[in-house]
Chain A
Amino acid sequence: MAKAPFRSLCTALLGLFCAALLLWTGSAHAGQGAPAAVNPALEQRVTQLAQELRCLVCQNQTIADSQAPLAVELKNQVREQLARGQSDQDVIDFMVQRYGDFILYRPPVKASTWLLWFGPFVLLALGLLTLLLKLRQKPAAPADSLTAAELAHAAALLAGESPPGEVAPAARSIPAITTVSNASTAATASTA
């Protein structure tokens, strides 16, 4: 009788606990990387720009991902400059002026990066071309590789093994030989 209310109390407590856990982890995540989250719109721009900039210490990360001291300092720079009212391009120019194109996570398209940008497409085209050429090549006829003497020998074997009256099944099973080497079969037939 007292079991049902007890169970519902347990469920309620568990639910409350889960909600608290969710809230807690959620706020912990929100707290990361946004020490001065006074202006959500600014913070969003900072994050967007930070995702375009490479961390120079841990080179395969953006400064948005990295917690290296330099990345944090560069993020602060981005935030300060945006807060001062500078455009995204101004900030990117500031960074490139100091760290070169290397800081751009998306390398610019220029003569020195053509291979990087278009190389994969060139490789793909080459691959497709090779495939196409291979597919269009006609498969070599097997009979071409037999010499006239071999053909004659094969025909002789066929003729010799098959008793009279049963030539037809043998001829059916190897039609290529019989059709290709009409002349030689005729020759062997005359000798046999």
Chain B
Amino acid sequence: MKRFALPLGIFLILLVFLGIGLRLKPQEIPSPFIGKPAPAFTLTLLHDAQKSFSPKDMLGKVWVLNVWASWCAPCRAELPALMALTKEAAIPIVGLNYTDTRSAGNKWLASFGNPYQLSAFDSDGKVGIDYGVYGVPETFVIDKSGFIRLKHAGPVTEDDIKDKFLPLLKELSGG
């Protein structure tokens, strides 16, 4: 019995490491932007090329920046959660339409629903790179003084809204 103790122990340790490894989410790369000012940009609006949007316009408000594209299936999946967020928290969501075309983007919003106050049109993805976007959808929470407080990679679920977004948004709006 005793001579099995060592291999068995090593096996159990490896098992623990395997368990930890399987739970890791390699897609979630820690963002260097948390607690830093949101990068500045000025982009035209998706639905109106004559008007433009800049994060400066939102100073004094807590808001959510959501990166999406018409070619992105998970973006469609997270739409109900974003709709729920606008209803429950009364927080403006600004879309960043990423490497898309105006016609495809507008058509997508018209057919699946539009949770966005407005969408900025980032056709070549340059602003996306400034925000460290590596996959769509990505969602940022930006506070009243224009600092990024949360970054969420991948589709937002109803649980994320309840556990991550609403508590933070409440805290930021109150303070």
Please report A residues at the B interface, Cβ cutoff 8 Å: 56-57, 59, 69-70, 73-74, 77, 96-100, 102
Contact A74 B30 (CB under 8 A): no
Chain B CB within 10 A, most for which of A57, A70, A77:
A70
Contact A100 B132 (CB under 8 A): yes
Chain A CB within 10 A, most for which of B29, B130, B135:
B29
List 10 other contacts, CB 8 Å, given A96-B32, A100-B29.
A56-B134, A57-B135, A70-B135, A73-B124, A77-B129, A98-B131, A98-B132, A100-B30, A100-B132, A102-B30
CA distance A99 to B30 in the complex (A): 8
Taking residues whose C-beta sits less than 8 angstroms from the other chain, chain B's interface range is: 10 to 19
Residues of A with C-beta under 8 A to B99: 69
Known: A56-B134, A56-B135, A57-B135. A73 touches B30 (CB 8 A): no
Whether, in the assembled complex, B54 has its beta carbon less than 8 Å from a beta carbon of chain A, the answer is no
Known: A69-B99, A96-B32, A97-B32. A59 touches B26 (CB 8 A): yes
Please report B residues at the A interface, Cβ cutoff 8 Å: 26, 29-32, 99, 124-125, 129-132, 134-135
Residues of B with C-beta under 8 A to A59: 26
Which secondary structure characterizes the binding site on chain B? loop
Chain A residue nearest to B125 in the complex (CB): A73
Known: A56-B134, A56-B135, A57-B135. A102 touches B29 (CB 8 A): yes
CA distance A102 to B31 in the complex (A): 9
In the complex, 23 of the A-B residue pairs with CB atoms within 8 angstroms, ordered by the A residue number, are A56-B29, A56-B134, A56-B135, A57-B135, A59-B26, A70-B125, A73-B124, A73-B125, A73-B129, A77-B129, A97-B32, A98-B32, A98-B129, A98-B130, A99-B29, A99-B32, A99-B132, A99-B134, A100-B29, A100-B31, A100-B132, A102-B29, A102-B30
